[in-house]
Structure 1
Amino acid sequence: MKEINESTKDRVESLSPIIDEESEVLVLGTMPGKESPKRGEYYAASNNSFWKIIGRLFNSNMEFKDYEEKIACLKKHHIALWDTLHFCKRESSLDSDIKEEMTNDIDSLLASYSQIKKIVYNGKKAATYYQTQLPSAIAYSTSSACAKKTEEKIKNWKNALTI
């Protein structure tokens, strides 16, 4: 039986940013849930509404075929993704379980991609870890822990993503 190192057992790491020279809006989540690092995909949990919202707003309400199509849609609409945290310890996927966190170097990312015009936080918790001088909006969390109805989230995200 493999021995589990207690110091790394609940450690979660952020994914690499999805960004290019055309990106104008940076969406910052807090930290990927448990499913995302396993699959190497942002918002991989089936109960997270992020991709449903993006599909409704930018993909003619059609489901995406795969992760590559999701990323292509974001890039087409000049949307970048990253997280406010670089790593943390967390037993579940809930932001309320986060401890021993270290933030990502968002200032350096923004210095490299100076065309970013707006930050959109995916939920209130993400906004607590990074303050920006850029225009910003706090969108409803796409996590299933956020009790807002999908239609409310879609309207909220539409407004938040508008530059």
Structure 2
Amino acid sequence: MAKTTPACPGLPADPRLSGFPPVLPGNARILLLGSFPGVASLAQGQYYAHPRNQFWRLLGACLGCDLASLPYAQRVAEVARRRVGIWDVVAECRRVGSLDSAVTEASVNPLARYLREHAPALERIGFNGGLSWKLGRHLADHGYAVYRLPSSSPAAAMYSFEQKLARWRPLFEF
């Protein structure tokens, strides 16, 4: 019998989870790479769906628009219009909850190959948090400028919004 978690009787404790396809316009110049969607994002089928995650607010401040107030489809369209992509380093994994520290058996997306083929204008990659940085920083070896960003997650409370924004902004300064 499968090991179950007390919070969800009858469900496997560590099911194999699959992430989302990239939001990546062919003319993207900037890519934001997270680690893997959290529980709220997986449930809603949307990147950064948790209401306390600061991703959309941070990205909107960097782009000079209020992304957080837009419906998800409009957010994604506006980001793509501004030549910014969104994806995750991990394609599949096992994890209970939303913390990166709980990720096991991670399969990494074929980042370098995919980006060369689908986003030839890409110049800069921002890593949203420590796990994405750990698993993806090798992209610097492929000619991309890489930026380690403080996580937008509500679990990353060591930085204020303003401190995070100060670290995110240089990614968008050309």
Aligned counterpart, 1:64? 69
Matching of residues 17-36 of structure 1 within 5 Å: 17-36=22-41
Which of 95, 116, 129 aligns to 2:100? It is: 95
Output the CA distance in 1 between the equivalents of 2:34 and 2:135.
Answer: 10
Alignment RMSD, CA only? 1.9
Matching of residues 121-140 of structure 1 within 5 Å: 121-130=127-136, 131-132=138-139, 133=141, 134-140=144-150
User: 1:105 Cα shift?
Assistant: 0.8
Structure 1 residue runs of 4 or more that deviate by more than 2 Å after TM superposition: 9-12, 55-65, 160-163
Aligned counterpart, 1:153? 164
Change (3 A) 1:92 1:49: same
Segments of structure 1 that go 5 or more residues without pairing to the other structure are none
**Equivalent pairs, count:** 160
User: 1:60 Cα shift?
Assistant: 3.5
1:86-116 Cα distance to aligned partner (Å, 9 max, x none): 1111111000111111111112211212211
Change (3 A) 1:15 1:53: same
Segments of structure 2 that go 5 or more residues without pairing to the other structure are 1-8
1:18-57 Cα distance to aligned partner (Å, 9 max, x none): 0112211111100000111211110000111001112223
Which of 18, 35, 47 aligns to 2:52? It is: 47
**Do 2:15 and 2:94's aligned partners in 1 also have CA atoms closer than 8 Å?**
yes
Output the CA distance in 2 between the equivalents of 1:34 and 1:59.
Answer: 29
TM-score in terms of structure 1 length: 0.89
Output the CA distance in 2 between the equivalents of 1:92 and 1:128.
Answer: 20
Output the CA distance in 2 between the equivalents of 1:38 and 1:71.
Answer: 18
TM-score in terms of structure 2 length: 0.84
Change (3 A) 1:62 1:35: closer
